[in-house]
């Protein structure tokens, strides 16, 4: 059976068709246009889905959708999406009504982790953990090529590493997301230095050995090491795969791993923390695979 996946992001919606052997048949991307509201986004998803269906006419298929945020098991409503107009909406029910099709919806970190565990960097692992270091920060456990969803939809990015630190938007102080996500780092830099600077600029100035960027970057590496060590100590996965824009910083795989190693007596195994292999495609591939 074919699988259709849709990756619903803040700026773009991407669709993909995989055949029964997980080979790509077709792919298409359109703008989300979230400024035009909730119903408009639903209609954009419908148009994209119908375009995919035309490419596999009369063929049976499943449908999975990945998006930032998560659906509350108590209310059935989506929460914590960066596409703000989706929050508080019964997205699953509304999409099934508009599309006339049963869907499975998962968090984007789950889709990323599943894609890498099935076709990417962690495909040979039994227990893997996929980490998203993007505008926000999240992750998901994959066990035997299946997403491990617990009753509380655990968010590693909301783990507290500094109880005296600044509050997260959910009200928790000093969480991982504040210190190692792209959005968190840029906000932290602004609050610390009273000036704005993009993460890419901070990294480049660190490489040029400029202050205060060196100190700021090394504090980021320290927090990265603590956060990852906490994760390893709890889960002890076979491999950790990094994704999102921050994962493209080469120093994470050198000085970052050395910082993690400070928390352990035995050496970390080789290729234990790796960069993703599927890049920006992981989200939409994972969305297809969840179905």
- pLDDT tens by residue, 17-66: 999 999 999 999 999 999 999 999 999 999 999 999 999 998 999 999 99
Q: Which residues of 196-224 are buried (b: 16+ CB within 10 A; e: fewer)?
A: eeebeebbebbeeeeeebeebbeebbbbb
Per-residue pLDDT at 267 exceeds 70: yes
What CATH number was assigned to the domain covering residues 2-110+281-290?
A: 3.30.420.40
**Distance between CA atoms of 91 and 71, rounded to whole angstroms?**
8
The whole-angstrom distance between residue 235's C-alpha and the CA centroid of its chain comes to 18
**Distance between CA atoms of 102 and 73, rounded to whole angstroms?**
18
Of the pLDDT bands very low, low, confident and very high (cuts 50, 70, 90), residue 253 is very high
Q: What proportion of the chain, given as a percentage, has pLDDT over 90?
A: 81
Q: What proportion of the chain, given as a percentage, has pLDDT over 70?
A: 98
From residue 215, give the alpha-carbon distance in Å to each of 88, 212, 219.
Answer: 40, 6, 6
Per-residue pLDDT at 158 exceeds 90: no
What does R_g of the chain's alpha carbons equal in angstroms? 19
**Distance between CA atoms of 193 and 135, rounded to whole angstroms?**
20
The whole-angstrom distance between residue 220's C-alpha and the CA centroid of its chain comes to 19
The pTM for the full model equals: 0.92
From residue 13, give the alpha-carbon distance in Å to each of 31, 283, 284.
Answer: 6, 11, 9
**Distance between CA atoms of 262 and 255, rounded to whole angstroms?**
11
Of the pLDDT bands very low, low, confident and very high (cuts 50, 70, 90), residue 230 is very high
What local confidence, expressed as pLDDT, does residue 170 receive? 61
**Distance between CA atoms of 287 and 73, rounded to whole angstroms?**
20
Residues 6 or more apart in contact with residue 198 via CB below 8 angstroms: 186
What CATH number was assigned to the domain covering residues 124-275?
A: 3.30.420.40
Torsion sign, CA atoms 246, 250, 256, 257: positive
Residues 6 or more apart in contact with residue 258 via CB below 8 angstroms: none
Element (H, E) at 118: helix 108-119
172, two tokens: 């928790």
What local confidence, expressed as pLDDT, does residue 150 receive? 76
Specify the range with the lowest mean pLDDT, choosing from 9-13, 127-131, 214-218.
9-13
C-beta of residue 63 within 8 angstroms of C-beta of residue 101: yes
Q: Cβ atoms within 10 A of the Cβ of 7, count?
A: 26
Of the pLDDT bands very low, low, confident and very high (cuts 50, 70, 90), residue 79 is confident
Extents of the domains making up the chain: 2-110+281-290, 124-275
């Amino acid at each position: 059976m074919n699988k259709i996946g849709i990756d619903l992001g803040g700026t773009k919606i991407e669709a993909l068709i995989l055949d029964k052997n997980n080979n790509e048949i077709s792919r298409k991307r359109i703008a989300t246009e979230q400024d035009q509201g909730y119903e408009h986004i639903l209609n954009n998803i419908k148009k994209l889905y119908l375009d995919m269906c035309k490419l596999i006419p009369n063929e049976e298929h499943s449908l999975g959708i990945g998006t930032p945020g998560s659906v509350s098991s108590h209310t059935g409503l989506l929460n914590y999406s960066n596409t703000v107009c989706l929050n508080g909406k019964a997205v699953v029910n509304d999409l099934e009504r508009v599309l006339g099709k049963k869907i499975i919806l998962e968090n984007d970190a789950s889709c990323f982790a599943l894609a890498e565990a099935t076709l990417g960097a962690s495909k040979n692992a039994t227990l893997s953990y996929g980490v998203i270091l993007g505008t926000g920060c999240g992750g998901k456990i994959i066990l035997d090529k299946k997403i491990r969803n617990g009753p509380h939809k655990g968010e590693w990015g909301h783990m507290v590493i500094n109880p005296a630190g600044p509050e997260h938007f959910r009200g928790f102080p000093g969480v991982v997301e504040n210190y190692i996500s792209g959005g968190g780092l840029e906000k932290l830099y602004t609050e610390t230095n009273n000036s704005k600077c993009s993460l890419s600029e901070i990294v480049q100035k660190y490489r040029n050995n400029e202050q205060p960027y060196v100190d700021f970057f090394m504090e980021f590496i320290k927090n990265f090491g603590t956060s990852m060590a906490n994760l390893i100590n709890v889960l002890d996965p076979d491999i950790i795969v990094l994704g999102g824009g921050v994962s493209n910083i080469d120093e994470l795989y050198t000085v970052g791993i050395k910082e993690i190693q400070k928390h352990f007596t035995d050496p970390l195994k080789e290729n234990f923390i790796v960069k993703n292999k599927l890049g920006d495609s992981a989200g939409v591939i994972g969305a297809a695979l969840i179905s």
